[in-house]
Structure formats: C-alpha cells, structure tokens
Amino acid sequence: MEIVDLTEERKDLFSLCLEDWSAEAREAGPKRREWLDRCLRHHGLRAKLALDDEGVEGGLIQYSPVANAPVDGADLYFIHCIFVHGHKEGRGNFQKHGMGQALLAAAEDDVRTLGAKGMAAWGVWPPFWMKASWFRKHGYRTADRQGLAVLVWKPFTEDAVAPRWFPKTTELPDPVPGKVNVVAFSSGWCLAQNLVLERARRAAAEFGDSVVLQEIDTTDRATMARWGVSDAVIVDGKNLQKGPPPSYETIRKAIARRVAKL
C-alpha cells in the first residue's frame, strides 16, 4: 500500500469518489470537481489517495484548514471525507485492509508539519458511513453533536481548543406565496449530497410553476455560518435530510404532497 498526494491526472477519478463505474456519480461529479479545483487553489484543501500494491486507487481523504470548513474552530484542520471503495462494481472492495487508517495517519502527519494544533472530523453515531466510533478508535474524542452528526477531534497540543458546530437556524429564505417552496443547500464537497441537489432539481421541475426552487451555495464559510447547515433539501419548511441522503422518490413525494394542498 502507498499513500500519495492527489495529482492532476487523478482529479476526475477523485471527484467521482473512485466510483467511475457509476452513472449517478458521473451526474454529480462535475459540481464536486468545481469544488475540488476551487478549494485546492484558494482554500488550502489537501487531498491524498491510497493505492494498493498494484497501484490501483482504493481510498481517499480530503481535509482543509478549519477556517475554510463548515465548523467553528481555530488552528485545526478538518476532514471533510475519508472513503475506501467498498462496492463490488468497478475496482472492487478495498475495505478491511487498513487503507482508512493509513490515510488518516498520513493526513495527521501532514497537518502536524503545517503547524496545526489538532485534527477535527465529522461522523455519524449510527453504524453506517463515516462512523464516529471509527474515529474514536483512532484517538479522537467527541467535541460536539448535532442530531445524527458527531463532531470529533484529536488535539496535538495542550492549548488546542475544541471545535463546535455552527448553530442551526430556523430562518429560511422568504417563501414565495402560493407556491411550494423548496430550498436546497449545497456545499459541493460531497458526491452523495451533490446527487441530492440534482434529484431536487429534477423533482421540482416536474411540477412546473407550482414549485419554486431556491439554491443556496454554502461553499462560502460565511454563508454556511449564517444558515448553520451545509447540505439539505427543505420542502415548505420540512427538512428531508434526517438520516442518509434522501432519494429522488422521497423528494418527489414530499413535493407532490405539498402541491396537492395548494
């Protein structure tokens, strides 16, 4: 196994989260590629890949200074995502071979050399993707919690200060009277969440003038801090994202129910 820095020729694959076999990944990938290029140039994003002994990409990690991340903190780096390909499709299953641990260790070593006082990450407490318990096994401790999402961190110095989630707000953009109002928050960094945005666009378009879709780009940290949410689809004030990313059918049904009441 080898951990390498992301190079230009691997950016498209990285933007697809190594799922170049997936039509859905290709649909959502361009927005993630835009985010990747912008943050590598302007926001201090760092990215690495794990290669197996034959040089095949099996895992990835991306992390940035906390000042450019969706959490409140200082002198830390924040892991947006760590992912090891585990699907039967495409390149196959690389999980349970230590790639995730190797990627995490490489990222921690990297930010220590950059003078960071600690590393933060997000996870979820249920036992599915980005498990908070996995980070705790590797020395992380809970800093904050917000619904299913757990903010964890590992301090490197005694004076490191724990990060916090930005507080969520109940405020939403002013609704358009007589319409079903769909608000889609999108940060661009997550392939799955980008796909949710595409699903919301398609579902809203099905109902024509009955639905108004407002998109809010939360790539900018000030925008993220204002709303306290990075990615979500909200239909007439109801947040559809209470767990895994909502399916197209879930979004469409929620909109259809509201349209029927107009």
Listed in order, the ranges of the chain carrying CATH 3.40.630.30 are 2-165
Q: Which of 117, 106, 238 is nearest to 181 (CA)?
A: 238
Query: How confident is the model over 230-242, as pLDDT tens digits?
Result: 889 999 999 998 7
AA letter at 199: R
Q: What is the DSSP string of 4-50?
A: EE--GGGHHHHHTTT-TT-HHHHHHHHHHHHHHHHHHHHS--EEEEE
Burial of 124 (0-12, 13-18, 19+ CB in 10 A): middle
- What pLDDT does residue 72 have? 92
- Chain segment 73-88, per-residue pLDDT in tens: 999 999 999 999 988 8
What pTM was computed for the model? Answer: 0.88
Q: How far does Cα 198 stand from its chain's mean position?
A: 15
pLDDT of residue 227: 85
Q: What pLDDT is attached to residue 61? A: 97
Residues of the chain where predicted confidence (pLDDT) is lower than 50: none
Tell me if the domain spanning 180-259 has CATH number 2.30.110.10: no
* Residue 243 confidence (pLDDT): 67
Give the CATH H-level superfamily of domain 2-165. Answer: Gcn5-related N-acetyltransferase (GNAT) (3.40.630.30)
Contact in structure between 156 and 76 (CB atoms under 8 Å): no
Which regions of the chain carry the CATH code 3.40.30.10?
180-259
- Give dist(CA 107, CA 233) in Å, integer: 31
Q: What is the DSSP letter of 124?
A: E
In this prediction, residue 96 carries a pLDDT of 87
- At 160 the pLDDT is 97
